[in-house]
């Protein structure tokens, strides 16, 4: 028997924890480099459209499922839908494993960068030096694997402590701090000599660069950044009280996440151009660029240490939500205790992460022409998350239908004007739109 389910301490705490899940490496690491790889402004516009149309509506859908069922994703789909629907929950648990396996690798890099900044090893803003430091480090073999392990242990430690105190308290304090520091960095980056070209690249769309892949990448990034399509928000929603206003909470979370991504773009891309780096350089972009921005700031070394520490924390609150999905599932559906489930899931993710880490230079491990890390990212982010989101929308729209509207409006007491529009979006617009993007991407 499961003990009485924990609840969030307050609506603010819930919003901060969900924002903590959403805001992570996706915003500061992958958003800028994916924008860089996919032609800048056009990618930004597609991303914003996907967030507004599919993202927001599926965020609400996941929270409605979680709060209504008060269960892990597999159990929730079973309780509310029966038959084949738990498969969507299993898909989410599987996706969580895949994402976490490469997430810990990149999060491990943030630990190394705290050290690099503190030691002054990155005080020379020369692009070649910064690039060599990065590629040398991630290709180094053992150290990045050890740091991924350290990060996995930290994540497991928080998850072992349960949902309330740890995650909620840390998020409330550290997220606002990260936000403030980001603003300082944006100002510094935008005032660098030559920043204008980066700003133009980011804000002015060049539609000639857009292909089916751009759409797939933008929708994947939207889902990844919102922690959507794998049950994380079903899980967090399952700890929600009956009277919380889901619609407005979802709106705030989506706005915060999008704001942080756009700020990260404004922080990284102008500096990329100012220092003559390549915007399409791939996963190293933020790690190579940010030290250059710090080098150009008075007290940059201290700012750098603080920034990478906060990035580490942002990654931690996201990783916790990923691991929590897997652990909640294992606790509810098997006989494992929280401790056993956490240790088991963490070990599996860590082992899966090793080839991702090695594929960054130490060994040549490629899948379909991508490094193992990129392949895991592509599979989970661009295919599995949108697929999970599509199925979630169909489920809420067609299986729950009016029940979902009743749940969203707290039985007709709030947001009654918008709820029918939302239902229409999850029934028709989201399934067709996401399906279309997925199919064009595959062809």
Q: Please report whether residue 22 would count as binding ligand PHE according to CB under 6 A.
A: yes
Tell me how far, at minimum, the Cβ of 225 lies from ligand PHE, in Å.
Answer: 5
SS3 303: helix
The CA angle 173-6-396, to the nearest 5 degrees, is 95
Whole-number Å distance between alpha carbons of 103 and 349? 10
Tell me how far, at minimum, the Cβ of 378 lies from ligand PHE, in Å.
Answer: 14
Q: Please report whether residue 25 would count as binding ligand PHE according to CB under 6 A.
A: yes
Tell me how far, at minimum, the Cβ of 26 lies from ligand PHE, in Å.
Answer: 2
Binding piece for ligand PHE, criterion CB under 6 A, among 23-31, 142-150, 164-172, 393-401: 23-31
Handedness of CA 363, 364, 370, 375 (dihedral sign): negative
Number of other residues whose CB lies within 10 A of the CB of residue 389: 30
Instruction: Classify burial at 243, counting beta carbons within 10 Å of its beta carbon; exposed 0-12, middle 13-18, buried 19 or more.
Output: exposed
**Chain centre distance of CA 88:** 19
Which C-beta is closer to ligand PHE: that of 35 or that of 225? Answer: 225
Among 21, 249, 328, 356, binds ligand PHE (CB under 6 A): 21
Which C-beta is closer to ligand PHE: that of 225 or that of 382? Answer: 225
Count of residues in contact with ligand PHE, rule CB under 6 A: 15
Residue ranges in 116-145 that form contacts with ligand PHE under rule CB under 6 A: none
Contact 215, 437 (CB under 8 A): yes
89 CB-near residues (< 8 Å, 6+ apart): 72, 73, 74, 75, 76, 77, 78, 231, 234, 329
Which C-beta is closer to ligand PHE: that of 122 or that of 232? Answer: 232
Residue ranges in 83-102 that form contacts with ligand PHE under rule CB under 6 A: 99
Closest residue to ligand PHE, judged by C-beta, is 26
Q: Please report whether residue 321 would count as binding ligand PHE according to CB under 6 A.
A: yes
Tell me how far, at minimum, the Cβ of 412 lies from ligand PHE, in Å.
Answer: 31
Which C-beta is closer to ligand PHE: that of 93 or that of 130? Answer: 93
Among 48, 24, 91, 75, residue whose Cα is nearest residue 389: 91
Among 172, 135, 90, residue whose Cα is nearest residue 287: 135
SS3 366: strand
SS3 205: strand
Q: What is the CA radius of gyration of the chain?
A: 21
Tell me how far, at minimum, the Cβ of 66 lies from ligand PHE, in Å.
Answer: 13
Q: Please report whether residue 258 would count as binding ligand PHE according to CB under 6 A.
A: no
Q: Please report whether residue 27 would count as binding ligand PHE according to CB under 6 A.
A: yes
Tell me, residue by residue from 213 to 252, as one string, x for binding to ligand PHE by CB under 6 A and - for no binding. -----------xx-x--x-x--------------------
119 CB-near residues (< 8 Å, 6+ apart): none
Whole-number Å distance between alpha carbons of 167 and 317? 7
Tell me how far, at minimum, the Cβ of 38 lies from ligand PHE, in Å.
Answer: 17
Contact 100, 271 (CB under 8 A): no
Which C-beta is closer to ligand PHE: that of 305 or that of 325? Answer: 325
Binding piece for ligand PHE, criterion CB under 6 A, among 19-27, 121-129, 304-312, 342-350: 19-27
Whole-number Å distance between alpha carbons of 241 and 239? 7
Which C-beta is closer to ligand PHE: that of 38 or that of 409? Answer: 38
Which C-beta is closer to ligand PHE: that of 260 or that of 274? Answer: 260
Whole-number Å distance between alpha carbons of 174 and 423? 35
Binding piece for ligand PHE, criterion CB under 6 A, among 25-33, 169-177, 361-369, 426-434: 25-33
Residues in contact with ligand PHE by CB under 6 A are 21-22, 24-27, 99, 224-225, 227, 230, 232, 318, 321-322
């Amino acid at each position: 028997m499961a003990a009485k389910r924990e609840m969030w301490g307050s609506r603010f705490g819930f919003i901060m924890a969900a924002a903590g899940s959403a805001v992570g490496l996706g915003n500061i690491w992958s958003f800028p480099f994916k924008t860089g790889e996919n032609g800048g402004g056009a990618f930004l516009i597609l991303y914003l459209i996907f967030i507004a149309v599919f993202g927001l509506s599926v965020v609400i859908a996941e929270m409605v499922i979680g709060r209504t069922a008060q269960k892990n994703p597999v159990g929730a789909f079973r309780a509310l839908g029966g038959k084949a629907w738990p498969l969507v929950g299993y898909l989410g648990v599987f996706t969580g494993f895949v994402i976490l396996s490469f997430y810990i690798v990149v999060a491990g890099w943030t630990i190394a960068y705290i050290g690099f900044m503190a030691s002054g090893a990155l005080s020379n803003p020369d692009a070649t030096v910064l690039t060599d430091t990065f590629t040398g480090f991630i290709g180094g073999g053992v150290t990045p694997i050890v740091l991924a392990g350290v990060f996995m242990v930290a994540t497991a430690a928080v998850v072992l402590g349960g949902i309330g105190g740890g995650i909620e308290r840390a998020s409330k304090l550290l997220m606002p701090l990260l936000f403030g520091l980001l603003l300082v960095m944006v100002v510094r980056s935008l005032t660098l000599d030559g920043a204008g070209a980066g700003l133009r690249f980011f804000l002015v769309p060049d539609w000639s660069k857009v292909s089916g892949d751009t759409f797939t990448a933008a929708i994947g990034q939207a889902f990844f950044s919102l922690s959507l399509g794998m049950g994380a928000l079903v899980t967090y929603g399952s700890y929600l009280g009956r009277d919380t206003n889901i619609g407005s909470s979802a709106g705030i979370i989506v706005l915060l996440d999008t704001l942080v991504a756009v700020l990260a773009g404004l922080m990284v891309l102008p500096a990329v151009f100012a220092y003559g780096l390549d915007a399409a350089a791939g996963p190293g972009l933020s790690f190579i660029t940010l030290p250059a921005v710090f080098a150009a700031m008075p007290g940059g070394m201290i700012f750098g240490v603080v920034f990478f520490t906060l990035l580490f924390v942002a990654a931690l609150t996201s990783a916790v939500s990923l691991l929590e999905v897997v652990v909640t599932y294992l606790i509810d559906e098997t006989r494992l205790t929280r401790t056993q489930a956490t240790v088991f899931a963490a070990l599996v993710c860590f082992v899966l992460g090793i080839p991702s880490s090695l594929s960054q230079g130490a060994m040549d491990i490629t899948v379909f022409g991508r490094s193992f890390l990129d392949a895991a990212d592509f599979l989970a982010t661009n295919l599995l998350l949108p697929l999970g989101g599509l199925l979630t929308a169909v489920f809420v729209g067609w299986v729950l239908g009016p029940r979902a509207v009743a749940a969203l409006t707290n039985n007709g007491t709030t947001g009654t004007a918008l709820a029918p529009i939302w239902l229409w979006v999850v029934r028709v617009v989201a399934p067709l739109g996401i399906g279309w993007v997925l199919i064009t991407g595959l062809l």
